[in-house]
A and B are shown apart, each in its own frame.
Chain A
Amino acid sequence: MSGARHGLSAEELEPILAVTRQLAAAFDLMAMLREVAQAAQAVLKAERCSVWLYDAAVDELVLHVSADLAAVRIPAGSGIVGACARSREAINVPDCYADARFNQELDQHSHFHTRCMLSLPLIGHRDDLVGVIQVLNKIGGVFDADDAALAGALAAQCAVALQRTQMTAALIEGEKLRQQLELARAVQMSTLPTAMPDVPGYEVFGVFKPADLTGGDTFDLALIDQGLLVVLGDATGHGIAPALHVTQMHAMLRMAFRLGADLETAFTQVNNQLAGTLPDDRFITAFIGILDTAAHRLKFHSGGQAPILLYQPASGQCARFDPTSFPLAAMPVSKLRAPVTLEMTPGTILALLSDGIYEYRNGTGEEFGEARVAALIRGSCRQHPKDLVDLLLGAVAGFAGGAPQEDDITMVIVKRRGSAAYRAFARSIDELEAIFAFTADSLARFGAEPSLAGAVDFVIEELFTNMVKYSGSSTAPVEIDIDPIEAGVEVRLVERDVDEFDVTRAPPVDIHAPIGEREPGGLGLHLIPKMVDAITYRYDAQARESRISFRKTAGARSAPNQGPS
């Protein structure tokens, strides 16, 4: 606007101020653009006015307001408008058809003849290009330097007002999206169990902790006619759609089972229905299981949901199970593989966790991972599922060190109540009396054959005293559990903070040696295998934990009545 010879007169200033007041009120972008165009056209006594907005993302100019054209999009450098955008200078062209930059096509489309044209850049308050305003055909002549100065003043006002409106529009759009997300969340959350089912012999717990952005997790724990329904699902993507997709799956499953479907039928039918209704690029990973609470068997299908961790007290380890099928909705399934059946012995824990846990990243980008989950479950296998969930959440938070939660976190824990009898004993020979009282009480409660007591006590004493003798620096108590099995008992002894020592590989004792060569040591471990049906030793190097498990049944070996005859 350097061409202005003098400041604006009061007569010229008045319409600009009037426009500015109008612009201050408008919040709608299109209304604002129309105001701008009309004001420029009126103030500059032009036949037409066009407003182009700059789309920085693709470096293009988009024609928004024009009397004759709609939806024109051109590269930001093309034509006079482009030259104006690039140079950020006013361009006054008195004869357009004499200017090589002029794009005659626009006139051909609009059937309007552009004689002369004044183009002005719209520069926002952060010195960024907002767009270009063009006034066409000065009534009764061409635009002069005064017009250019006037237009420049108007353009400055318009640019700032436009930018404010664009920002406001973005905010409103964001708010609308947020409200829609909240609504989707509410729908998603409404299907989750509000209270945990009371399952005889089991402890169950599920939790759903949404991330800020809607993920697509869901879970279900419900007693239905077929048993305990156990579901964990995770739909792909973020936003409103996955939240609604899992909600849909959740409802379909409940309905299928309510109508009496078995696991295979429900899985297949829900998959096929979802495959037909979900968009092609969408799918849901889901574990769907039915627990027979009397037979203690959990049968499941998993459509791409993994890992499936099963803590087994006999081994003290978490076994890992893979999916049985591809994710739900990926494609219709005609023939399903056989489901997997999990044996839920006392103390067994099924842990289903969404990848919001496994893939939670700390500040350095490391993932929480399966090994940490498995170690925590092993170390806390006696905890109630709710406490286990809290421990896992605490461990993840500690690991994350403040890194934000990026995905939904969902956990479902199903635990068969622990051993029928359990106690921890201090590492002292003086505990033997209490141990024998514990085994006597447990065997009596199980209605076990009384003749088992002698052998059971013998083996426990030998193992326990061995642990006491070779404690090293460990002060951790020795845990003993006893469970009834067919015609006998299964006993486990667990100790921690110890070195590996496989009691089943003790050196042999020559029982035929003459008395002079016989020593008292080593006899106990030598005798154990003769007293039991089976014995196993497992060592977990990470937890420094030894776990010995043995079984004793009546009749398998001679364990005649003890005591005085």
Chain B
Amino acid sequence: MLTIETGVDGTVIMAGRLDAAQSVKAQAFLDQTSGQVVLDCRSLEYISSAGLGVFLRTQKRLLQSSGKLRLTGVGPHLLDIFKYSGFDQIFEIEAAT
């Protein structure tokens, strides 16, 4: 399951698993965002290539209007996947402490 909500400071908080079955819901939520978007990944346990696609599409859209997506609190498992897919070069990523 995946939950997405906007925190009090405007940060988007994703929790749970961003798999192929949840990607439509995630995409729909992120399509509503604009400008500088911070995505809090501390509770995001899992991501598959469908989830990466959601992030990539969002990033491309935001860049067109001088915005961008920043990922924070990224755990080691997600970090590996971002690295293997070259996403560490197209996203600003802040690893979990």
What 1/0 flags go to B45-64 for Cβ under 8 Å of A?
A: 11011101100110110010
C-alpha spacing A454/B43, complex, angstroms: 14
Contact among B17, B50, B77, B97 for A436, CB-based, below 8 A = B17
B86 at the binding interface (Cβ < 8 Å): yes
B80 at the binding interface (Cβ < 8 Å): yes
Q: Are A512 and B46 in contact (CB under 8 A)?
A: no
Q: Are A454 and B21 in contact (CB under 8 A)?
A: no
Q: Are B53 and A458 in contact (CB under 8 A)?
A: no
Q: Are B57 and A520 in contact (CB under 8 A)?
A: yes
Q: Are B77 and A561 in contact (CB under 8 A)?
A: yes
Q: What residue of chain A has the Cβ atom nearest to residue B86's Cβ?
A: A511
B66 at the binding interface (Cβ < 8 Å): no
A563 at the binding interface (Cβ < 8 Å): yes
A interface size (C-beta, 8 A):
38
Q: What residue of chain B has the Cβ atom nearest to residue A522's Cβ?
A: B49
Count of chain A to chain B residue pairs whose CB atoms are closer than 8 Å in the complex: 101
Residues of A within 8 A of B85 (CB): 509, 511, 523, 526-527
A465 at the binding interface (Cβ < 8 Å): yes
C-alpha spacing A108/B80, complex, angstroms: 113
C-alpha spacing A561/B78, complex, angstroms: 10
Q: Are B75 and A564 in contact (CB under 8 A)?
A: yes
B76 at the binding interface (Cβ < 8 Å): yes
C-alpha spacing A526/B53, complex, angstroms: 13
A367 at the binding interface (Cβ < 8 Å): no
Residues of A within 8 A of B49 (CB): 462, 520, 523-524, 527
A433-B21, A564-B73 known; A515 vs B43 contact (CB < 8 Å) = no
Q: Are B43 and A564 in contact (CB under 8 A)?
A: yes
Residues of A within 8 A of B43 (CB): 564
B89 at the binding interface (Cβ < 8 Å): yes
Residues of B within 8 A of A559 (CB): 77, 80
Q: What residue of chain A has the Cβ atom nearest to residue B15's Cβ?
A: A564
A540 at the binding interface (Cβ < 8 Å): no
Q: What residue of chain A has the Cβ atom nearest to residue B74's Cβ?
A: A565
What 1/0 flags go to B66-97 for Cβ under 8 Å of A?
A: 00000001011111110011100110000011
Q: Are B21 and A432 in contact (CB under 8 A)?
A: yes
The 5 closest A-B pairs by CB, nearest first: A511-B86, A520-B53, A524-B49, A560-B76, A562-B77
CB-defined A-B contacts under 8 Å, sample of 26: A429-B20, A454-B77, A457-B48, A461-B19, A461-B50, A462-B48, A465-B20, A509-B85, A511-B84, A518-B90, A520-B52, A521-B53, A523-B53, A524-B48, A527-B85, A531-B84, A560-B76, A560-B80, A561-B75, A562-B76, A562-B78, A563-B77, A564-B42, A564-B43, A564-B75, A565-B42
